[in-house]
Amino acid sequence: HGYAQVTTTGDDVTNVAHRGASGHAPENTIAAFDKAVEIGADYIEVDVHMSKNNEVVVIHDATVNRTTDGEGRVNDFTLRELHQLDAGSWFSDEYKGEQIPTLGEVLDRYLGEIGILIEVKDPANYNNMERFVAIELIKRQLRKPTDEEVIVQSFDHASMERFHNILPDVPIGVLVSNNPNGISDEQLKAFQTYADYTNPNHLMVDQDLVTRIQDHGMQISTWTVNDPNRMEELVEYGVDGIITDFPDRLQDVLQ
């Protein structure tokens, strides 16, 4: 009695594999997501864009240039054309033939296996992207996900507000880039009307920000943290989740 428990064990910190276990396998491919499952992460983070024929596809950039052997905007390719691209060789020969997955494929393969954090990329550049993402969830009975098996996040906060109006029971995250102004209480008050998470770049995270986000009734998952010392610091601040390319490193820190 009388002693405060000062050590944070980190037992309850969610381990999120950024674009899959992207430190070990090509980002946003089945290989990277399988690796995250194998390591024992809690979630895979999955970036999505729209194909020309309105399929929700899993890729980080608006173009295929960096992560495939093709060239051009994702939105100028049909799904059939996207499937012909090699999304693995750029990372290493071992992954030759990895394809750009669809969001539907990822949901079908991993629901019940690992949590899925969907990042809606550039929704302002596509028509009704929120609806296309929502349809994929509804098709799989995810109108009211249990245990936060899926979460939807974006840097586009207006899009997340729209998504919340379409599917009010799906947990929402707002992403915040590192910026010198930080995040004001006014912003947090606005976020809390539709979001369950405020997810900032870790470079702007300190004890005060963690406390203020949680005091506004939200959780904080921060990104992208690959340095074990920084992971430890963030765990001590009491963050709810850490998004990392190396979920194996985070697992070691949390043990």
User: What, of ligand G3P, Ca ion, none, does residue 243 touch, CB below 5 to 8 Å by kind?
Assistant: ligand G3P
Beta carbon nearer to Ca ion, 47 or 248: 47
User: What, of Ca ion, ligand G3P, none, does residue 223 touch, CB below 5 to 8 Å by kind?
Assistant: ligand G3P
Q: Which residues are catalytic?
A: 18, 60
Question: Smallest distance, Å, CB 174 to ligand G3P?
Answer: 11
Q: Residues 6 or more apart from 114 whose CB is under 8 A from it?
A: 33, 36, 37, 41, 42, 43, 44
Among 55, 119, 156, 196, binds Ca ion (CB under 5 A): 119
Told to check if 18 binds ligand G3P by CB under 6 A, we report yes
Lay out the site mask for ligand G3P across 204-233 (x = CB under 6 A, - = otherwise): -------------------xx---------
Told to check if 47 binds ligand G3P by CB under 6 A, we report yes
Of residues 24, 41, 23, the one with CA closest to residue 242: 41
Q: What share of the chain is helix, strand, coil (3-state, %, to 5)?
A: 35, 20, 45
List 153's β-bridge partners, or say none.
119, 173
Told to check if 119 binds ligand G3P by CB under 6 A, we report yes
Beta strands (DSSP E) in 29-88 are 43-50, 56-58
105, 110, 119 from 229: Cα distances, Å: 35, 30, 26
Binding positions for ligand G3P, rule: CB under 6 A: 18, 45, 47, 60, 119, 175, 223-224, 243
